[in-house]
Amino acid sequence: MKRFSLLAVLAVVALAALAAGCGGGGKPTDNKDKGGEAALTRPEAKDPYKGKTNTKTSAEDVAEGKKIFDAQCALCHGEKGDGDSPAGKALTPPAANFTDAKLQEVMKDDYMFWRVREGGAALGYNGMTPFNADTLKDDQVWQVISYIRTLKK
Ligand code: HEC
């Protein structure tokens, strides 16, 4: 009996710790919409990214963008871009699901460009690696963004 109640206490303590941990979330970039009408939002892009517009939107650009995505992004964002990858799900917050139409709506082009260049650090996260100009030229960043736009469901 004594043993049982000790286990029960431990279980309660563990649950409480878990709940406290979750309660601390609520960051603006939580991947999932919180349900109801609670608006999913994304901040405005910071300078020097603010106001940038996508210049690479042709079918060829989308095709190039897919190659870049498969090579550089799919590891975390999933082969289909839906965030369904072991690496992406292990991160906090998890890798974005680009098939989500609401997310696509709130991610402006300049915001996406900023996020690719600065990675998670742009918003104080450490999951996503930054991609500087040595890895992806500006045109390539736009190409991968154009491809991501096609993933919207
Ligand atoms: C090492 C894992 C990893 C890689 C590689 C990665 N990402 Fe991410 N990405 C994440 C995670 C985790 C998030 C969600 C947390 C955040 O917003 O930083 C994210 C978020 C994003 C966002 C913002 C989504 C939102 O909800 O606002 C964009 C845009 C993005 N990634 C694009 C890309 C592109 C494009 C590539 C490839 C060039 C890429 N990512 C590669 C892990 C990764």
Query: Could you confirm whether domain 57-153 is CATH 1.10.3430.10?
Result: no
Separation of CA 13 and ligand 1 centre (Å): 34
* The pLDDT value given to residue 23: 38
**For residue 139, which of 63, 40, 41, 56 has the smallest C-alpha distance?**
56
CA distance 83 to 96: 5
Q: Is the CB of 83 under 6 A from ligand 1?
A: no
Measuring from atom 37 of ligand 1, which residue has the nearest CA?
73
For the whole model, what pTM was predicted?
Answer: 0.81
Q: Per 3-state DSSP, what percentage of the chain is helix, strand, and coil (rounded to 5)?
A: 50, 0, 50
More confident: 25 or 39: 39
Output phi, psi for 69, to 5 deg: -60, -50
Q: Is the CB of 151 under 6 A from ligand 1?
A: no
User: pLDDT category, 5, cuts 50, 70, 90?
Assistant: low
User: pLDDT category, 19, cuts 50, 70, 90?
Assistant: very low
Separation of CA 112 and ligand 1 centre (Å): 9
CA atoms within 13 A on the CB side of 57: 6
Mean local confidence (pLDDT), 97-117: 97
